[in-house]
A and B are shown apart, each in its own frame.
Chain A
Amino acid sequence: MVVAASQTVAGAPPRPRVARRRRANGSTRAAWLLLAPFLLGFAVFYVAPIVVAVVKSFTAVTRTSTYGRPVEVFAGLANYTAALGDAGFTGSVGRVLLFGVVQIPVMLGLALVLALALDSAVVRLRRFFRLAFFLPYAVPGVIAAVMWGFFYAPNLSPVNQLLDPLGLHPDLLSGSVILYSIANIVTWTFTGYNMLILYSSLQAIPPQLYEAARLDGASGWAIAWRIKVPIIAPSLVLTGVFSIIGTFQLFTEPQVMAGVSSAVSSSYTPSMAAYAQISAQNYGLGAAMSVLVTLLIAVLSWLFFRITRARAAL
């Protein structure tokens, strides 16, 4: 290659060229050497699991007798058809779709309002509120879910004890509301996180824009909706995509709720459904479910990008 290159480039003095190449090769080698630990880790802990999961999703086991040795064989699309035919799994996808449609707008709306409020000069104690809103994100998801579980359990909840004399006995763990109870936990945990992303992009807007707007007679509301929101729209899209991914990965909160509510089934979310199969040594089916969810996340994120880009003309 080196020879061919130096031959084709007419008029160029060959010697320094080769020398430069050599130097370049040397530093390339050094770069690769420095990158090697990362690349190794990337391959072993990032690429390999994905490859293995995809390969596994096309395998099943056969055995000749009850306690016969399981032999892994190629199963074609059997795991995929089984996953798509599994009412528990498809139901769980529908459930998180509903969850996302309700929860994501509420959470991002709240995050946006909080970010705008903090960004406006109106709010005093800005630092305090910024920290206070963000704090739930620092609470590990399991702890948060256990804590909310206490608030929800009818005979433990301090809220219920206050409502009891009024003759109100809400059961936030029952089948009809448990999805919203979980949505509440997720909203509580992640609103501050999203707010922080939006808030930092608000901070990056040059103040001259506001000055100009004010000179043109724009009100605070107009500045917020006509200037701030359109400018931070890319951040909103980003938080939207994060939320879509997070919704489909929902596991911790419902898993903890399953310990206190009879309404949370073992395949309540796609992650739980895949986990249940893997616990039962059905690696192929579990892997197929995981791959399907990944594909679905990819498609939905892409669609979301397309739609928002068209709307916001980003």
Chain B
Amino acid sequence: MTRTSPPTNRLRRLGAALAAASLALAGCGSADSAAPAAAAGCAPAGGKVELSFWSWLPGIDQAVALWNQGHPDIHVTVEQTPQGNQGTYNKMFTALKANQAPDLGQVEFDSLPGFRVQQGLRDISACPGVADAKSKFVDWTWAQASVGGDGVFAIPQDTGPMGLFYRKDLFEKYQVPVPTTWDEYAQAAKTLHAADPKLTITHFPQKDVNWFAGLVWQAGGHWFTQDGQQWKVNLTDPASTKVADYWQNLLSQGLVSNYQGFSESWNKALDSGQIATWTGAVWGVGTIAKAAPSTAGKWAVAPLPQWTKGEQRSGNWGGSTTAVFAGTKHPAEAAQFALWLDSDPQALAILTAQGGIYPATVSAQESAKASPENTRFFGGQDVDAVFREAGKGVSQDFTWGPSMEQTYAHVRDGFGAALSGNGTLGKALSEAGAATITDLQRQSIPVAK
């Protein structure tokens, strides 16, 4: 997952949102005509093939240019779009309904089930090379791309193992040890805030529900499980409740601030030294360097605090795939391109350097290296080594639900209310779970009660 600074994106998101809304209302979704995701048969077309591809990753055009150079018979045209949740998914869904979707698109892990439920994805498991590629990728990413376990619908591109970004200088100044457990983290929050009332240990990013889900992932929670033909929804399992109660406690004591993640306010707070840590993901290395330029050299990365001392569990926040859409006429070539893009060392070198991704293949993760300027920002620390270890501690069996957009919205709304003093994070989760079940029933998606 790639995040860029908000103001321009906000505009783009709105523009795309308005366009998508008007298109949707205009009835472009009247015909249910997307081709079924046929598993059988995936033979190369032979001859010259044109593929279209939507992606928001910076530098993707350079990788595609490299592909086009080496593959005169399979020409790929890339279109740069805003980040998925900022409008591109709406655009993709609209295009799928109108049979105008590209052959391939960048889709994050959490949105794959939704695309599959809406018949948007093509099963490429029978395409040449796909089955053999499985071993190249980190196990859980492949599991995510096979949505539901009976096919392959996308090729994993990058992942987002989480770690703790912290202000080395502030922890030293106030003689607070870098927390290794969540208990120590809460203790550090108290000490730092007591030492400087303007300083909070972190912010609670109400809108970034996938951040919260990453922490639930670490704690061993499961919001969605697929039980045969039915979905089980449980946003209040013991792990989720534990995480919610933990943050509610910090919020109630006023120990975390209330900035929106990636907002100008948050950037300012980071840059002016009012936030001491951020539990972010590997792609956040670039985010934080860009958001807080005047704090260069003062940051370091440590493993995510643990619930039980000595464990090495991490969560995952973000991560993308190159998905093959249902309407493609050339699934074999599309799969071939997706495999190349997400596993070829040269392609990954471009995506890592330009797009700041943390690749999903085992070998590329071994050699991943932050850019020189980002390494300088972190005082020369080998940040990738920390995230490489974190990646090994990401549990494999976290499943995203079939309507994450709506689940996120419900949790966001509930968290917002909790932050305004109406209810708690735990209550928000339980209400969001109930609302999600209603959503699924409205879409006639089978849910276990």
Binds B, one of A46-54, A116-124, A128-136, A198-206: A46-54
Decide: B420 and A282 in contact? CB cutoff 8 A.
no
Known: A61-B443, A142-B11. A69 touches B119 (CB 8 A): yes
Decide: B25 and A66 in contact? CB cutoff 8 A.
no
Binds A, one of B124-132, B305-313, B317-325, B409-417: B409-417
Decide: A53 and B25 in contact? CB cutoff 8 A.
yes
The residue from B15, B442, B445 contacting A66, defined by CB atoms under 8 A apart: B445
B231 at the interface (CB under 8 A from A): yes
Shortest CB–CB separation between residue B197 and chain A, in angstroms? 12
Shortest CB–CB separation between residue A269 and chain B, in angstroms? 13
Decide: B14 and A262 in contact? CB cutoff 8 A.
no
Known: A278-B24, A278-B25, A286-B24. A63 touches B7 (CB 8 A): no
Q: Is the interface of B mostly helix, strand, loop or mixed?
A: helix
Decide: B258 and A262 in contact? CB cutoff 8 A.
yes
Q: What's the Cα separation between A258 and B413 when bound, in Å?
A: 10
Q: Mark B264-297, 1 if CB is under 8 A from A, else 0.
A: 1100110010100000000000000000000000
The residue from B24, B260, B264 contacting A150, defined by CB atoms under 8 A apart: B264
Decide: B118 and A281 in contact? CB cutoff 8 A.
yes
Interface residues of B in 79-134 (CB under 8 A from A): 89-90, 93, 114, 116-119
Decide: A49 and B25 in contact? CB cutoff 8 A.
yes
Task: Return chain A residues, CB-CB under 8 Å to B36.
Answer: 69
Known: A52-B27, A52-B30, A279-B90. A66 touches B420 (CB 8 A): no
Q: What's the Cα separation between A71 and B443 when bound, in Å?
A: 10
Q: What's the Cα separation between A274 and B118 when bound, in Å?
A: 19
Known: A142-B14, A150-B264, A265-B412. A49 touches B32 (CB 8 A): no
Q: Mark A126-166, 1 if CB is under 8 A from B, else 0.
A: 00000000000000001100100010011110000000000
Task: Return chain A residues, CB-CB under 8 Å to B421.
Answer: 175
Contact count band on B = 35 or more
Interface residues of B in 358-408 (CB under 8 A from A): 402-403, 405-406
Interface residues of A in 18-69 (CB under 8 A from B): 45, 48-49, 52-53, 56, 60-63, 65-67, 69
Decide: B263 and A260 in contact? CB cutoff 8 A.
yes
Known: A259-B6, A262-B420, A276-B406. A282 touches B439 (CB 8 A): yes
Most buried by A among B24, B207, B439, B444: B24
Total interface residues on A, CB under 8 Å, equals 57
Q: What's the Cα separation between A140 and B10 when bound, in Å?
A: 14
Decide: B444 and A262 in contact? CB cutoff 8 A.
no
Q: What's the Cα separation between A67 and B6 when bound, in Å?
A: 34
Decide: B264 and A153 in contact? CB cutoff 8 A.
yes
Task: Return chain B residues, CB-CB under 8 Å to A154.
Answer: 265
B59 at the interface (CB under 8 A from A): no
Decide: A62 and B444 in contact? CB cutoff 8 A.
yes
Shortest CB–CB separation between residue B38 and chain A, in angstroms? 12
Shortest CB–CB separation between residue A141 and chain B, in angstroms? 9
Task: Return chain A residues, CB-CB under 8 Å to B402.
Answer: 66
Task: Return chain B residues, CB-CB under 8 Å to A194.
Answer: none
Decide: B439 and A263 in contact? CB cutoff 8 A.
no
Decide: B226 and A71 in contact? CB cutoff 8 A.
no
B58 at the interface (CB under 8 A from A): no
Q: Mark B20-34, 1 if CB is under 8 A from A, else 0.
A: 111011110110100
B177 at the interface (CB under 8 A from A): no
Q: What's the Cα separation between A249 and B337 when bound, in Å?
A: 44
Q: What's the Cα separation between A283 and B25 when bound, in Å?
A: 8
Nearest first, the 5 closest Cβ-Cβ pairs linking A and B are A52-B27, A175-B420, A266-B409, A262-B416, A265-B413
**Listed A/B pairs (23) with beta-carbon separation below 8 Å:** A48-B26, A49-B25, A66-B229, A66-B446, A67-B148, A70-B119, A143-B11, A153-B265, A175-B417, A175-B421, A251-B18, A256-B14, A260-B264, A262-B416, A265-B412, A265-B417, A266-B412, A267-B413, A276-B406, A279-B17, A279-B21, A281-B118, A287-B25
Known interface pairs A61-B443, A156-B268, A256-B10; 20 further A-B residue pairs with C-beta atoms within 8 A, sorted by A's residue number: A49-B26, A67-B117, A69-B36, A71-B32, A82-B442, A88-B413, A142-B11, A142-B15, A146-B7, A155-B265, A175-B422, A255-B14, A260-B260, A266-B413, A274-B21, A275-B21, A280-B409, A280-B439, A282-B442, A285-B442
